[in-house]
């Protein structure tokens, strides 16, 4: 899906990821999508929706915000960022959102990856399905009261789970969105 930029060379290409070089840099690029979305979903009773799943690259269970790839499915090659966020939220958590509001975007790991992530706030949530992900995923959904999130995340860490730091980025931008200066 991505074209080579001037000076880039593909060192290795897998089904989903390319290892590239440009000058002295080596980095990865996803070959199967056009973007990444992360969704901050807060229910009407102020519960933050998290997902928990085993992640092979880190060899353990990780607590994350719902997230996914854009334009990574057959028949979904012209999906907007907001449409992908809606789809991923429903697949992973069983929630539908009336509206997706873009909060921010930026590089995920600018020294090693070309990934750009876009954070959305899901508004007008309705639980319409079980969640749990698609056939390739085994996701557990957690709905944690916003006021209890810090202690719940500490507890999960003590239990040996990893916590994705992008959770804190999402919560920061949620706070800015809910309390504009």
Fold category of 33-178 in CATH: Nucleoside Triphosphate Pyrophosphohydrolase (3.90.79)
Give the count of beta carbons closer than 10 Å to the beta carbon of residue 174: 18
The model's pLDDT over 14-32, given as tens digits with 9 standing for 90+, comes to 988 889 999 888 989 888 8
**Residue labelled with tokens 């921010």:** 104
User: Could you give the strand order of the β-sheet that contains 116-127, starting from the edge strand earlier in sequence?
Assistant: 67-70, 35-41, 116-127, 95-107
Q: Give one word for 70, left, alpha or beta, with left for phi > 0 and alpha for psi -120 to 50.
A: beta
> pLDDT (tens digit, 9 = 90+) per residue, 70-93?
887 776 668 899 999 999 999 999
Q: In what order do the strands lie in the sheet with 140-145?
A: 140-145, 47-55, 60-64, 162-163
What is the Cα–Cα distance from 64 to 50, expressed in whole angstroms? 6
Whole-model pTM over 0.85: yes
Q: How many residues does the chain have?
A: 181
């Amino acid at each position: 899906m991505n074209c080579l930029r001037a000076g880039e060379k593909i060192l290795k290409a897998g089904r989903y990821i390319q290892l590239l070089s440009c000058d002295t840099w080596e980095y990865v690029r996803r070959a199967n999508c056009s973007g990444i979305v992360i969704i901050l979903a807060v229910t009407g009773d102020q519960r933050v929706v998290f997902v928990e799943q085993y992640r092979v690259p880190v060899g353990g269970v990780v607590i994350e915000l719902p997230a996914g790839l854009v334009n990574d499915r057959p028949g979904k090659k012209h999906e907007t960022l907001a449409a992908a966020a809606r789809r991923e939220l429903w697949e992973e958590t069983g929630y539908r959102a009336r509206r997706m509001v873009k909060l921010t975007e930026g590089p995920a790991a600018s020294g090693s990856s070309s990934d750009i992530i876009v954070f959305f706030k899901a508004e007008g949530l309705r639980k319409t399905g079980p969640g749990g992900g698609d056939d390739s995923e085994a996701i557990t959904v957690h709905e944690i009261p916003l006021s209890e999130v810090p202690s719940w995340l500490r507890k999960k860490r003590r239990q040996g789970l990893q916590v994705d730091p992008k959770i804190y980025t999402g919560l920061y931008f949620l706070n800015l969105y809910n309390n504009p200066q």
